[in-house]
Amino acid sequence: MKNYSLLSSFLHGTFILLFSVSAEIVIKGRPSTVSTNRIGIIVPGPGGGITHEQQPQIIELLDGDALKGTFVGFDVETGVKWRHSAVKTDIDFMTDSLSKIQLFPRLQTLEPDQSTQIDLVTGEVLSGELLELNDRHLILNAWYSRNSLRIPREKILSIRPESEELGLIYEGPTGMDGWKTRGTTVGKAQDKALRPQAIFGGRVPFPIPNRNIRVPAPAGTSGWKYADKSFSATRSGSLVGRELELGDSVNVEFDMAWQGSFNLGISLYADQLDAYSGSSYMVGIGSNSCYLTRMAKSVQNNLGQQTYQELRGKTKARISIRANKADSSMALIINDRVIKQWEDNSGFAGKGKKLMFVLLQDASVKISNIRVTKWDGKMPAVNSGENKEGKDVLTTSNSTNLSGELLGVRDGKAIFKAGFSPTPLEITMDTITKIQLADAKPEKPKLGLGDVRVTFVNGGQFTFLLEKWGADRVSGMSGVLGRVDFQPGAFSVLEFNLTKKQSDLGDDPFEDFE
């Protein structure tokens, strides 16, 4: 459990008291006489009845200090107002000293029509009910906004309607919650002096384990790191995983960026948080080849490998791994092309619910935009080789890709002019899994002084100039949406001083890769 240092600064007249201890302090709730309309004190239940007292929130400063308590509000002129049960008056923190506030809000139960996700070119994600799309803008009815959001069409990268067939299981990462890491061992390896071996004569690296030896990882490694909605690792043996309700069939998708040669293992249906024990499947992805390893009761069998040229000269790719228990099959798809399909004639070996990413050799690898969904057993449509430049691409729930022009969305239907049809098609949104807008390209967000990055309770992040945070509204200015007026209960995390952090971190080595 993370230990926080305790820093409380109290200013009364000209007297300043600084108190600091290193042990974690449990903050008791304030007396019930405190008004329930103060943010973060008491969480009302249905009908106004109080069901429980909210978990103490945490404010983190740029110098590393942290303090439990309650976030009361924010004003651009005075900074953050913070409440502590041991202090008679609220504490004012200067904005330029802040790093992060963790709010721990109640989870929101959303209506199904609020699940359409809008991916912006800046990498940000907004969700809500898509009311209309025309040639100028998209109108989104978002539960967290007091007004409908008007998003310029040129700022939209893609639209992802909620599809019953997809059955979203997980999307992220938005932090380390639920994930477990291990970087102090490389699993059960053969010998600490040996590198991962080649199998099948295809130079596919994979450690053949001797299950009696554990090898320390190189000094200084600590597994996968989380930052800016991504996991990254550099040392062999780094493992990050979590338990998910994978079900009988699953599609695990993610973006990957790398430097140089790499070897990444993705384990599915694992019953142990260990790549070399228990029962699971591991798909190994290298710079020019892939393979599937079956692990049953800690006995390893390799089910075949495939070489490819898909990643030659590249440093980024979209990866999809699809598995089906019914026919014991698995497939690897890179950038929408099916690379290899496997079938396990011995029956499905996976006995657990864990998903893991394991770096199998020293390399710089970053994973982001992880999306785990149910899978209907269908593969992507075959790419006909048609040039899609300047065309919108619509993907239906039966994996059909249509290229053409998205004329608009209204009344729950997409009006789409496909090349093969003389008249526009009307396609209901609940049968669409994704719409990629023509020529939309990701761009680096431009951060300004005073910009705050917020994480929504239901996933996704957004950055805007925060002006005021009160008991019932959050107001500010966005370069994409203009003036915004949000609900305070919409957010789980606030991050301050983004430009200062960006300067301290330096350039992202993956940022400019194509």
Q: Is residue 479 part of a domain?
A: no
pLDDT in tens, 63-104: 999 999 999 999 999 999 999 999 999 999 999 999 999 998
Question: What pLDDT does residue 389 have?
Answer: 63
Residues linked to residue 261 through DSSP beta bridges, in sequence order: none
d(CA 341, CA 305): 10
| CATH number for 331 | 2.60.120.560
- Which of 374, 394, 409 is the endpoint of a domain? 374
Whether residue 192 is found in the same domain as residue 333: yes
Q: Is residue 122 part of a domain?
A: no
- For residue 475, what are its two tokens? 């107001």
Cβ distance 469 to 74 under 8 Å? yes
Question: What pLDDT does residue 400 have?
Answer: 79
Task: Tell me the residue type at 294.
Answer: R
In this prediction, residues 417-442 reach a mean pLDDT of 89
Whether residue 187 is found in the same domain as residue 325: yes
At which residue do the structure tokens 């969700």 appear?
Answer: 127
In this prediction, residues 381-400 reach a mean pLDDT of 67
pLDDT tier for residue 15 given thresholds of 50, 70 and 90: very low
Whether residue 295 is found in the same domain as residue 201: yes
Question: What pLDDT does residue 75 have?
Answer: 95
Minimal CA–CA distance to 372: which of 277, 270, 274, 242? 242
Comparing 220-229, 238-247, 273-282, which segment has the lowest mean pLDDT? Answer: 220-229
Cβ distance 115 to 144 under 8 Å? no
pLDDT in tens, 172-208: 888 888 999 875 433 333 333 233 344 333 344 444 3
- Which of 374, 405, 420 is the endpoint of a domain? 374
Whether residue 85 is found in the same domain as residue 196: no
Q: Higher pLDDT residue, 11 or 112? A: 112
- pLDDT of residue 426 exceeding 70, the answer is yes
Number of domains comprising the chain: 2
At which residue do the structure tokens 């978002």 appear?
Answer: 142
Whether residue 184 is found in the same domain as residue 331: yes
Helices (H) then strands (E): counts for the chain? 1, 43
Longest dimension (CA), the chain: 79
pLDDT tier for residue 105 given thresholds of 50, 70 and 90: confident
Q: Is residue 119 part of a domain?
A: no
d(CA 368, CA 252): 12
Strand 425-428 versus strand 474-478 pairing type: unpaired
What domain range includes position 84? 6-102
Q: Higher pLDDT residue, 512 or 291? A: 291
Minimal CA–CA distance to 402: which of 423, 422, 379, 425? 425
- For residue 468, what are its two tokens? 């005021």
Cβ distance 295 to 281 under 8 Å? yes
Beta strands in 351-444 (DSSP E): 354-359, 364-374, 392-396, 401-410, 413-418, 425-428, 432-436
Question: What pLDDT does residue 381 have?
Answer: 55
Mean of all residue pLDDT scores within the chain: 79
- For residue 397, what are its two tokens? 């729930």
Q: Is residue 56 part of a domain?
A: yes
Provide the 3-class DSSP secondary structure of residue 120. Answer: strand
Whether residue 185 is found in the same domain as residue 303: yes
pLDDT in tens, 29-44: 333 333 333 444 333 3
- pLDDT of residue 2 exceeding 60, the answer is no
Cβ distance 239 to 358 under 8 Å? yes
Minimal CA–CA distance to 468: which of 481, 495, 486? 486
Q: How many residues does the chain have?
A: 514
- 152-155 CB contacts, 8 Å cutoff, 24+ apart: 152/480, 153/437, 154/121, 154/440, 155/120, 155/121, 155/122, 155/480
Provide the 3-class DSSP secondary structure of residue 157. Answer: strand
Q: Is residue 493 part of a domain?
A: no
Minimal CA–CA distance to 315: which of 341, 290, 292, 287? 287
Cα-based distances in Å from 492 to 95, 226, 487: 19, 17, 12
Ranges 219-228, 349-358, 500-509, most confident: 349-358
Q: Higher pLDDT residue, 205 or 406? A: 406
Whether residue 79 is found in the same domain as residue 190: no
pLDDT in tens, 136-178: 999 999 999 999 999 999 999 999 887 544 577 888 888 888 9
What's 499's DSSP letter?
H
Radius of gyration of the chain (CA): 25
Q: Is residue 153 part of a domain?
A: no
Q: Is residue 431 part of a domain?
A: no
Task: Tell me the residue type at 378.
Answer: K
At which residue do the structure tokens 């699993």 appear?
Answer: 187
Q: Is residue 199 part of a domain?
A: yes
pLDDT tier for residue 485 given thresholds of 50, 70 and 90: very high
pTM, two decimals, is: 0.62
- For residue 241, what are its two tokens? 């995983």
d(CA 455, CA 226): 15
Strand 482-486 versus strand 214-216 pairing type: unpaired
Question: What pLDDT does residue 449 have?
Answer: 87
- Which of 345, 374, 403 is the endpoint of a domain? 374
DSSP string over 327-356: TTEEEEEETTEEEEEEE-TT-----S-EEE
